[in-house]
Structures are given as structure tokens and as C-alpha cells.
Amino acid sequence: MATTSIKLSALKTACKSCSLHDLCLPLGLDIGDIDRLDNIVKRSRPLHKGEYLFNSGEAFTSIFAVRSGSIKTFTESEQGDEQITGLYLPGELIGLDAIHDAKHPCSAIALETTSLCELPFDTLEDLSSEIPELHHQLFRIMSKEIAGDQSLLMLMAQKSADERLAAFLVNLSSRLKARNFSETEFNLTMSRKDIGNYLGLTIETISRTFSRFQSEGLLSTQRKYVNIHKLNELKELAGISDHCTTTDCPSKTA
Amino acid sequence: MATTSIKLSALKTACKSCSLHDLCLPLGLDIGDIDRLDNIVKRSRPLHKGEYLFNSGEAFTSIFAVRSGSIKTFTESEQGDEQITGLYLPGELIGLDAIHDAKHPCSAIALETTSLCELPFDTLEDLSSEIPELHHQLFRIMSKEIAGDQSLLMLMAQKSADERLAAFLVNLSSRLKARNFSETEFNLTMSRKDIGNYLGLTIETISRTFSRFQSEGLLSTQRKYVNIHKLNELKELAGISDHCTTTDCPSKTA
DNA sequence: CGAAGGATTGAATACACTCAAGGGATGTGG
DNA sequence: CCACATCCCTTGAGTGTATTCAATCCTTCG
């Protein structure tokens, strides 16, 4: 019984004691407001690998925040080809693209065992009218998503396979670092196929590029496990200078 | 003097009498609230072709709505290559990607003589806390921008040059239609080079593809002027069935 | 009128894709 | 517990689409 109660309490970790605090919605809120936010959060059982969070076309009712694990979102065109549009890590919000016409334009699947916080959007919207900081944080998060998509666009439009994979790995690395994971050693939760799809390349090209990176000593891989040996070179290849992340890199002026 | 006063009054057209009413921020607001929105709008002299609205890296203070004309936004990477990230038509909002870190991640340039409404973001945010419909409309618009970027991503990642150009033209056509312009005859305000950049292709490829479309009888062009003869075929090529636009196309179930 | 930028077209090249075969891991059922 | 099927990944060979390089034409604008 002890184990059960531990699990339950873990499941119920409140926003204010959540380690993702500063990466997620509560950023900038004071204790009282965090409690109010906490009250509208629904926490349900974790999703297993491969389980759907929602399906394309479904009615939109809630935003989801990743607590642990990871989620991929993807759209399907009429011709049936699939395009992965997002990879979400702990602290990130899913479903923001569904607000405008009240249904999900994409599907979401768990890439591993993943737990989530559900935020009913109506209530969240009401609450954010009352709490200016929450309001602002929501705008910030949506804005960041727009900016992120646009830098991904840049990647797709004019980068080579090498540059795309490097940028993908560097981006992942810095997001993991922000979550107190290692920035040089991690497991890819997406398959080669998914990565290829996400970057607009084929699985063979991803595999070959990984092989070349490995033979060049930039990194080593074992299936999904990646160990980056020369992060700086990888960053350079990705077109990102030393101590800058994708999103907050000031143009070099010095 | 008569002409001057006409111009001035045109410049000052209030939101409630603006033809873009239903495409822009006021959608869903009642008359009283529209007036309140109107009060915070700054309307300044039009921008000429090639003039900057703002520059990448500049502090973000305002959202801009296009009144007439068109604007392109683009980012510049450290290597100096430019990527066009958006083409904005009347009624559309510019600058939403700048909220999250309070500075513009991209630059914005007028593609033709363009007039704009400026909305100081602080004030807009305050006002939207008081007017739930405005609040909601802002979310909808941002959400739409996210969804739009994601479908552009899909385009980049897995479509051929033909499909990309067709999708670009069809998208433009339907947006122009929504603004009461012709959906088959219009002037491209972007150059071939810009279109190529936007779609991740070279100027030569754009030119060749236009030539082929023309020889196939899909459309005819004279420099920036485009006349679409077979819109449905173009839509099919773009992967969009008959009476659907890019954003609100239900998956075919019938 | 001359210069400069934009667009078109041609020829050759390159990068990523397709097709194909095989290896290695994982999971299921006998 | 082993055998088999399946999935994922890797590597090779050949192909094709869009690119690069280059020349020319047209339009615009000073």
C-alpha cells in the first residue's frame, strides 16, 4: 500500500512544488496565483508508448503540459503522407494550434511513458483574464511556439541534411539541459524515421548522416542512445555559435 | 484642401467602419468594445515599398495590423542567409512572434505602399484582460499563425517544387478572395526571388515552374501579374480538394 | 540613354531519394 | 526457452529533381 500512496502523491505534485515550474505556465506567478492555477489542473494516468493523447479533428477542450516523457504531434495530408510538426518535452504545452477553430489540426502520440497535466481551456482563459501574469505567460508561450516554427522553417528551406540533423541535435541538447538532463548524453525518443520526417529527410539520409558524424568523431550512437563528443562543432555546423541556444541568440555584434 | 481632408479621414477610418472588420481583431466584439479597441490604435503615414516596419533585434512594443498593401517578414541567420517567414495581407497581424522575449526575431518590409494600424502591446494586453472576446480573438489569431506555420512546414518537408508553388498560389488566392479581391487574377507583390526563398526553392526553379504551369494552361503570367485559368487543377496539385482552403479543410469522409 | 535588377532559359552538377539487401534487436507463440 | 516474425537501422548502387553556373532578355529607373 505504501508504494501506491507514494505513486499517487507523486501524480498529484502541485504546480508549486513541480520542478518544471520555471519552464511551464507558472513562471512569473506568485504563490497564491499558482494555487489557483493548480486547482484547474487535471492529472490523469500516464500514457504508454504509442498511445494517443488526441486525434486530428477531435474537438479541442484542453491544453496539455508534459510532466515527464515526450509527445510527438503530426498532421496527415489528404494524400495520406504524415508530417511530424512537434516534439514536446517536459514543461512544454501541447494543443495551442487548436484554439482558433476549436479542433485539433494534428494528432498527438506518446513516444514513451508520459504523464501530463490537463488544463481545460475555457477555465484557463477565464483565469488568465483575472491573472495578468498568467495572461502574459500564455502569450509568451504561444509567441515562442510561433518563433520556433519559423526557425524550423528556415531549417527546412535552406539547410543541407548535415545542417538539419546538427540543428536538431543541438536544439534537443539545449532543451534537455534546461531540464537538468545531460546536454551531451541522451536517448532519442523518436525513431530515425520520425526524425527524418520531422526534418524533411528520408530515414536512409538520417542513418547515413549519423554514421558520418560518428566517423568524424562528432558523436557516437547506439540505436537511440546518443553521446555528443564535440558539441561546439555540432553547433557550428548547425549555424549556431558557442553559447547560444536556438531561440535566444543575439546577432553577433562584437 | 478637400483632397487632404479626404485622405486624412480615410487614414482615420475607425475599426467599426473598416472593411477588414471580420478578418482582424474586432471580430466577435460588440460596438462598445470596438470603440475601446479603436482608442488604442495608432494610425501613421503609410510605408513605401521597401521601407522597414521594424528590424530584427529591435525592442518589441506593438503589434501591427495591415490595413492595405502587404508586408514580408524575414529572419537572417548568422551566415547571412535570409529566410522569408511570412507574407501579410490586409487584416493580418504582424509581430506575434516577438512577444516571448520582447524583441523582434525578424525584420518586416513593405512590399508595396502599405498602411498599418499600430497596437501598443501593453495596452492591448490590458484591454484584453477586460474584454473576454478580445482576449479570445487574440488567442485565436495566434493559434492560427501556429497552425499556418505548421502547414507551411509540411509543404517544405515533403512537397515537390510544383506542389509548393501551386500551394502558395492557392493559399494566396483564397486569402485574396476573403478580402473581396479576385481569386483568379492578382498581382504578386513578392518577386520570384522572394517566392523562391519563401518556398525553399531557387529563383530559377520558380521561373521554370511558372513557365511549365503556363505551357500546361493552368495559368498565365506577365511578370508579377498572375491569371489563374484552372484553379481547381491547381488546388488538386497543391493537395487541396475543391472548395476547401488551407486552414479549414475537413478531412474527406464522404 | 545607360545601368542595374528581375526574369527566363539552357547545360552540367550534386545532393538526397528510391530501390534493394542484409544485420541486429525485440517481442510473441509454440 | 527457442524459433520465428517484425521492426528498426545500416549500407550500397543507381537515379532524379532541384541546384549551380552562365548567358540573354526585359523592365525600370536614375
Mean pLDDT of B189-214: 96
Q: Where in chain B is the domain with CATH 2.60.120.10?
A: 4-147
**How many whole angstroms from its chain centre is CA B48?**
17
Residue B5 has pLDDT above 60, yes or no: no
Give the integer Cα–Cα distance in Å for A108 and A74.
7
Helix (H, G, I), strand (E, B) or coil at B165: helix
Taking the Cβ of residue B160 and every Cβ of chain A, the question of whether any pair is shorter than 8 Å is answered with no
Is the pLDDT at A180 greater than 60? The verdict is yes
Please indicate if any CB of chain A lies within 8 Å of the CB of B15: no
Q: Would you say residue A150 has pLDDT above 90?
A: no
**Neighbour tally for B9: CB within 10 Å:** 9
Q: How far apart are CA A86 and CA A54, in angstroms?
A: 14
- Strand C at less than 7 A from CB of A83: no
The band of A240, judged by pLDDT with boundaries at 50, 70 and 90, is low
By the CB < 8 Å criterion, does A197 face chain B? yes
pTM of the model: 0.86
Spatial distance between the Cα atoms of B193 and A154, rounded to a whole number of angstroms: 15
**A175 has pLDDT over 90:** yes
Residue contact A157–B83, C-beta within 8 A: yes
Lookup: cell for B10: 480615410
For β-strands B115-120 and A71-76, DSSP reports them as unpaired
Decide if pLDDT at A90 tops 60.
yes
Residue B12 has what pLDDT? Answer: 64
- Per-residue pLDDT tens digits for B94-125: 999 999 999 999 999 999 999 999 999 999 99
d(CA A238, CA A159): 9
Are the beta carbons of B153 and A241 separated by less than 8 Å? no
Choose the mutation target among A81, A87, A88, A139 for the interface with B, i.e. most B CBs under 10 Å.
A139
Task: Determine the pLDDT at residue A12.
Answer: 64
What pLDDT, on a 0 to 100 scale, did the predictor assign at position A73?
94
Chain C: nucleotides under 7 Å from a protein CB? Answer: 6-11, 15-20, 25
Q: CATH 1.10.10.10 in chain B, residues?
A: 160-238
Instruction: Give pLDDT, residue A152.
Output: 86
B160 touches strand D (CB under 7 A): yes
pLDDT at B243: 38
**CA A119 distance to own-chain centroid:** 17
Instruction: With beta carbons less than 8 A apart as the criterion, state whether A201 and A164 touch.
Output: yes
Partners of residue A118 on adjacent β-strands: A42, A64
The answer, for A243 touching chain B at a CB cutoff of 8 Å, is no
The answer to whether B208 CB is within 7 Å of strand D is yes
Whether B146 contacts B160, CB under 8 Å: no
Residue A195 predicted with pLDDT over 90? yes
On whether the CB atoms of residues A137 and A28 are closer than 8 A, the answer is: yes
Query: In whole angstroms, what is the distance from residue A73 CA to residue B140 CA?
Result: 19
User: Residues A200-218: pLDDT tens digits?
Assistant: 999 999 999 999 999 999 9
Q: Position B202: which residue type?
A: T
pLDDT beyond 80 at B2: no
pLDDT value, residue B68? 93
A160-238: which CATH topology?
Answer: Arc Repressor Mutant, subunit A (1.10.10)
CA B156 – CA B222 distance, rounded (Å): 26
CATH number 2.60.120.10 is the correct assignment for the domain at B4-147: yes
